C-alpha cells in the first residue's frame, strides 16, 4: 500500500453477524481492522482470532482496507461480518477525512465495546476513529520489527506514537517487540501487553502426497515460507549458503513459498550460481500445511523478526528449524532442542547448521518432535482467545465499560 493513507469509499458489508454464546461476560461487540485478507503473518493471526472469538461471547465485525485475498475463505460460515473501507488517498485529504468521519460514525452508531487494530494503517485510522466515536476499549498493535518502513522513521514515527499513546493498550507478540517499544519509542510499560501468536497445529500435522507436490524430488527438501517484498526474510543468505550444501547433498531442493517484488532478484542470484535445478519458487500458496508436511527442514534466515508465524508452522509440522538469532525467533527456537540459531546475514553459519542436520537424521527427527510438542503446549489458539478475552476485560474494566 502507498504511504498516502486511506481515502474514502462507501463501506461494503458481507456475511451474517455472529450471535455469540454465553460466557463470563455479556456479549461484547468488537470491531477488528486489518489491511487486507492476503496471506501474511498479521493477517493470518487476525483472521484466525476473529473466527474463534464468537464462541467466547462476542459479536465480531472485521473491517478491511482492501477486501482481497485468500484468507476470506477462512471466514465463510464463521458468523463474522466483513466490511471494506477502500483506501484511495491520505488522511490529510478531503476524501481521507470523509473516510475517517464515516468510520467514526459507524463505530458510534453500532456501539462497539472494543476497536482492535492489527497493523500500521489500521492503527492510524482505527485508533483515531475510535477516539472520536467514544469507543470504551481501544487496542492497537505493533507486531515485529518494521524499522525499515518509512512510517517507522523520522517525524512520521512520532505521529504514530502520539496516535497510539491516545488509545488504550498496545498489543505486541513478543518480548523483543515490547522491549523495542520501551527502548526506542519510550512507551510506558504499563500500556503494553504481550500475547504471542497462535497456530492451528492440527492443520499442519496432516500428511500430504510429496510426489504430487514435488514430482521427481528425491533429496531432502528445505523450505522457507516468507514474502519477498525485500531481503528482510533472508533469502539471499540462504541462496549464498546453497553451494556448500549442494556440494555434499546434491539432490537437496530449496523450496521458497511466497512472492513479492524482490523475487526476480532472488531468481537471478540462483541463476548466477547455476543452481536453478535445486530451487523451486512456488509463489503465493494456499496449501502451506501440505508443503510443510512434505518438507524436511524449515529455515527462516531473517534480518529481523517479531514473533514469526513461519517458525510456529514449521514446528507444528514437525520440522527442525534453522533460524537467525533475531527478535522473537530467539523466543521460539531453543538451541539444540528445537533447532539451531545462527547470526543473521551469515551464509557460512547457515550452511553449517543445515549441513549438521542433514548429516544426522536422528537429530532432525528429535528436534522436529520437540518443536511440535512445544507448540502444542504453548501456542494454541484456545490460549490466544482466552488471553485476548482477558485483555478486553481488563481494558473495559479500567474504563468502567462506558462510552466516552
**pLDDT tens by residue, the chain, 404 residues:** 333 433 334 444 444 333 334 346 789 999 999 999 987 888 999 999 999 998 889 999 999 988 998 899 999 999 999 999 887 776 667 888 889 999 999 999 999 999 999 988 899 899 999 999 999 999 999 876 554 455 555 666 777 788 888 888 999 988 888 998 899 889 999 999 999 999 988 888 877 788 888 988 999 999 999 999 999 999 999 999 999 999 999 999 999 999 999 999 999 999 999 999 999 999 989 899 999 999 999 999 999 888 898 999 999 999 999 999 998 899 999 999 999 999 999 999 999 999 999 999 999 999 999 999 999 999 989 999 999 999 999 999 876 655 55
* Other beta carbons less than 10 A from residue 268's beta carbon: 10
State which fold the 12-198+381-398 domain adopts: Rossmann fold (3.40.50)
Q: In what order do the strands lie in the sheet with 221-225?
A: 279-283, 253-257, 221-225, 297-300, 321-324, 339-342
DSSP 399: T
Domain boundaries along the sequence of the chain: 12-198+381-398, 201-378
Residue 1 is predicted with a pLDDT of 39
Residue 164 is predicted with a pLDDT of 85
Given a contact cutoff of 8 angstroms between Cβ atoms, the answer to whether 274 and 258 are in contact is no
Q: What share of the chain is helix, strand, coil (3-state, %, to 5)?
A: 45, 15, 40
Given a contact cutoff of 8 angstroms between Cβ atoms, the answer to whether 248 and 355 are in contact is yes
Written as nine digits, the cell of 371 is 518443536
For cell 501468536, the residue is 197
221-225/297-300 β-pairing: parallel
Residue 144 is predicted with a pLDDT of 61
Strand, helix or coil for residue 135: coil
Q: DSSP letters of 282-329?
A: EES-S-HHHHHHT-SEEEE--SS-SS-HHHHHHHHTT--EEEES-TTH
Half-sphere exposure for 214 (CA within 13 Å, toward CB): 29
Query: Domain 201-378's class?
Result: alpha beta
Name the β-bridge partners of 335.
339
Burial 129-161 (b: 16+ CB within 10 A, else e): bbbbbebbbbbbbbbbbbeeeebbeeeebeebb
Do 12-198+381-398 and 201-378 agree at the fold level?
yes
What's the CA gap between 204 and 303, in Å, rounded? 26
CA 215, chain centre distance (Å): 30
CA distance to 173, 212, 237, 269, per residue, from 194 (Å): 5, 40, 30, 38
Residue 4 is predicted with a pLDDT of 40
Name the β-bridge partners of 60.
30
What's the CA gap between 10 and 84, in Å, rounded? 8
What's the CA gap between 117 and 259, in Å, rounded? 25
What's the CA gap between 267 and 274, in Å, rounded? 10
Strand, helix or coil for residue 49: helix
Written as nine digits, the cell of 183 is 527502548
Residue 403 is predicted with a pLDDT of 52
Amino acid at each position: 500500500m502507498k504511504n498516502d493513507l486511506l481515502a474514502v469509499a462507501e463501506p461494503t458489508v458481507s456475511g451474517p453477524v455472529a450471535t455469540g454464546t454465553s460466557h463470563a461476560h455479556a456479549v461484547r461487540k468488537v470491531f477488528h481492522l486489518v489491511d487486507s485478507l492476503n496471506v501474511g503473518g498479521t493477517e493470518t493471526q487476525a483472521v484466525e482470532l476473529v473466527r474463534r472469538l464468537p464462541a467466547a461471547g462476542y459479536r465480531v465485525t472485521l473491517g478491511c482496507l482492501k477486501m482481497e485475498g485468500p484468507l476470506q475463505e477462512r471466514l465463510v460460515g464463521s458468523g463474522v461480518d466483513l466490511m471494506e473501507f477502500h483506501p484511495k488517498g491520505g488522511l490529510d485529504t478531503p476524501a481521507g477525512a470523509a473516510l475517517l468521519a464515516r468510520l467514526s460514525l459507524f463505530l458510534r452508531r453500532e456501539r462497539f465495546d472494543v476497536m482492535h487494530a492489527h497493523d500500521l494503517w489500521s492503527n492510524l485510522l482505527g485508533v483515531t476513529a475510535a477516539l472520536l466515536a467514544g469507543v470504551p476499549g481501544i487496542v492497537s498493535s505493533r507486531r515485529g520489527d518494521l524499522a525499515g518502513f518509512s512510517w517507522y522513521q523520522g517525524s512520521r514515527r512520532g505521529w504514530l506514537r502520539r496516535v497510539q499513546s491516545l488509545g488504550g493498550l498496545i498489543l505486541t507478540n513478543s518480548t523483543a517487540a515490547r522491549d523495542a517499544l520501551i527502548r526506542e519509542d519510550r512507551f510506558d510499560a504499563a500500556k503494553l501487553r504481550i500475547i504471542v501468536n497462535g497456530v492451528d497445529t492440527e492443520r499442519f500435522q496432516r500428511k500430504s502426497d510429496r510426489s504430487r507436490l514435488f514430482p521427481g524430488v528425491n533429496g531432502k527438501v528445505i523450505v522457507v515460507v516468507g514474502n519477498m517484498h525485500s531481503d528482510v526474510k533472508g533469502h539471499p543468505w540462504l541462496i549464498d549458503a546453497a553451494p556448500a550444501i549442494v556440494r555434499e547433498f546434491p539432490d537437496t531442493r530449496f523450496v521458497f513459498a511466497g512472492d513479492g517484488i524482490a523475487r526476480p532478484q532472488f531468481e537471478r542470484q540462483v541463476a548466477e550460481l547455476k543452481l536453478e535445478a535445486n530451487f523451486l519458487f512456488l509463489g503465493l500458496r494456499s496449501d502451506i500445511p501440505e508443503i510443510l508436511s512434505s518438507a524436511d527442514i524449515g529455515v527462516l534466515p531473517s534480518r529481523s523478526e517479531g514473533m514469526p508465524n513461519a517458525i510456529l508452522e514449521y514446528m507444528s509440522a514437525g520440522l527442525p528449524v534453522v533460524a537467525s538469532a533475531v527478535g522473537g525467533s530467539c523466543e521460539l527456537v531453543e538451541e539444540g532442542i528445537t533447532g539451531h540459531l545462527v547470526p543473521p546475514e551469515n551464509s557460512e553459519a547457515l550452511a553449517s547448521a543445515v549441513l549438521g542436520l542433514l548429516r544426522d537424521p536422528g537429530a532432525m527427527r528429535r528436534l522436529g518432535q520437540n518443536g511440535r510438542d512445544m507448540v502444542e503446549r504453548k501456542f494454541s489458539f484456545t490460549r490466544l482467545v482466552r488471553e485476548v478475552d482477558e485483555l478486553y476485560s481488563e481494558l473495559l474494566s479500567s474504563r468502567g465499560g462506558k462510552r466516552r
